[in-house]
Amino acid sequence: MWGPSSATTENDRVGEDSEPLINGRQEERYTTIELRSPHTVSFPLSPILEGEEDIKLSPNIREYEEEETSTFDFRSPALLDQKCPSFRAASAVMSFVFKVTGTLFCTLLSGVIIAGLVTHTIFPLTEVSNTEEAGPVCSSESWSNGRWIKRNETTPPLSSFRDILKWSGFPTYYCTSNRLPKTNLGTPWNQNDTAELWDWRGKVSGYTWQPGCQENEKRLKPQYTPQSLLNDLVYEGGWLFIGDSLSAQWFLSLSCILAPYVRATPFWTPEVPWNATQHLYLDHESPYVQQMELPEGFNMNVTPVVTILRSGLLLSKPEITKIIDDKDLLPGVGPINWNETVFDNPTSLYLDHFLNPNYRYSKLVASAGAHYTSKLFMDLPLDKVTSVFHHVFEEWIRIISKMLEDPRAKDKKVFYRTATAGHKDCHLPEKLNGPPLNEEEALDTPIYNWQFIPIFNRIAQAAMSKVRHPRFKFLSLDRPAMLRPDSHILIDCLHFTIGTGVVEGWTDFLYSYV
């Protein structure tokens, strides 16, 4: 059985598939494998300059001292010549030996130092990204203009959730977030527990993304490992995601990548609100975390390394209503009744989170699009909805630009990530078993608002092109996902399977290229 092909809305609460809310703590808590993600091909690095270390050169050279000099009368050289003719000869020989030895030692030492400077092994240089010398950093547009290639590994037989995590490149056998991990990792179970779908699950994690960066375009950091990513989140600052359920999937993916070192809150039970803000905190029981020297002001009980705050419209409904009324965007249309349940939050709420010094966020990544539907806006034509999105996005830019002028926002960065659409009939055997696409396919029939999501992305890109703030950027990251109709989860055709490289690619780009 291939499963349904219809998309699932927030009202369906994905949880209706009755997946048990499993406990993230398992007996393999510290059974970890330190590895790089298999889903991203490394691209040439800019010259990495490492932190300089203080090194003391201690050749332990002792100055030669004559012993028993009191036996010689230095006031009478003639007497000295008479008493010690053999000493003068021995002294000359020893002096020659020391001179030769010293010369050889200095020559050897100089050679070692020069070689060390050339290879950066003795005096490693400070880690900076010198893009002026190395060429420009690869842009999100160039990165996304790549292709999916098969991993150079034989797909192992899969039969359990553990197998999926291992083959997907995650470091241990669980994810710390217990919010539907089996569903989001595409685990065949219940009516989907078939040999065909287990084969499919192995196949879809068998590809890696090859970025489309040009030869002169570099990445700032090597491909992440779980520990290097954790270090970045701790010492550089955490990530705050603002968006819908696809942004929540990104959070879940990170809870799998960082599982040996973090704990997720809240622990999901039926009583927990579906739109509750989720955090990843350092786990004080992790041996690796215990040996970390945390930055000043970092509190493991207060400071998250990753947060997802659900706000699928960028602005709150009251904020959007005010824009519609002030600009008379829907003349002749009565008050918006908001016919569809969508999780929203006022910008003031999530920007207060972002600026709170106790949380130490360094990056905010927002995304929207999937919930700008006709149904939400009382069955209005989608061109009217597009107009609303345009004005909402421009207001969001204004709010973010003003926020970045706040002294508390110093060094913080804000990004808008392009939205991803779904694929029609993604659960048909020919789609599930097919390879990744080489080019995006346009929808031939309207499904929800999917055919308008590329338009929303173009509107956002055009608006962001006018932004000149160096810490406010547009991330065009949707194309790799749109080439993967084979990698949707088994209950709808909008969300992508965690561990196939689609969502993990967003992590790689944000870590390595920004």
Q: What is the pLDDT of residues 224-269, one digit of tens each?
A: 999 999 999 999 999 999 999 999 999 999 999 999 999 999 999 9
Of 478, 334, 456, the C-alpha closest to 392 is: 456
Q: In the predicted model, what is the mean pLDDT of residues 4-15?
A: 42
Least confident of 9-23, 42-56, 205-219, 290-304: 42-56
**In the chain, pLDDT over 90 holds for what percent of residues?**
67
Q: What is the pLDDT of residues 212-236, one digit of tens each?
A: 999 899 999 999 999 999 999 999 9
Q: What is the pLDDT of residues 311-356, one digit of tens each?
A: 999 999 999 999 999 999 999 888 888 878 889 999 999 999 999 9
Average pLDDT over the chain, rounded to whole?
82
Give the Cα separation of 221 and 218 in Å (integer).
Answer: 9
**In the chain, pLDDT over 70 holds for what percent of residues?**
74
Q: What is the pLDDT of residues 143-162, one digit of tens each?
A: 999 999 999 999 999 999 99
Contacts of 336 (CB under 8 A, 6+ apart): 317, 320, 321, 324, 330, 377, 378
Q: In the predicted model, what is the mean pLDDT of residues 296-319?
A: 97
Which tokens sit at 73?
Answer: 């009368």
**Predicted local distance difference test score (pLDDT) of residue 378:** 86
Using alpha carbons, list the distances in angstroms from residue 64 to 43, 92, 170, 509: 56, 13, 62, 61
Decide if pLDDT at 198 tops 80.
yes
Strand order in the sheet with 361-366: 262-265, 278-282, 306-310, 238-243, 361-366, 413-417, 472-475
Q: What is the pLDDT of residues 448-466, one digit of tens each?
A: 999 999 999 999 999 999 9
Q: In the predicted model, what is the mean pLDDT of residues 96-120?
A: 45
Residues 10-48+144-512, CATH architecture: 3-Layer(aba) Sandwich (3.40)
* Helix and strand totals (H; E) in the chain: 17, 9
Q: In the predicted model, what is the mean pLDDT of residues 287-314?
A: 98
Least confident of 84-88, 116-120, 346-350, 393-397: 116-120
Place of tokens 């992305």: 457
- Residue 95 pLDDT level (bands cut at 50, 70, 90): low
**Predicted local distance difference test score (pLDDT) of residue 47:** 37
**Predicted local distance difference test score (pLDDT) of residue 334:** 80
Give the Cα separation of 79 and 304 in Å (integer).
Answer: 84
CA angle 156, 161, 167 (to 5 degrees): 35
The residue ranges of every structural domain in the chain are 10-48+144-512, 50-63+70-126
**Predicted local distance difference test score (pLDDT) of residue 99:** 53
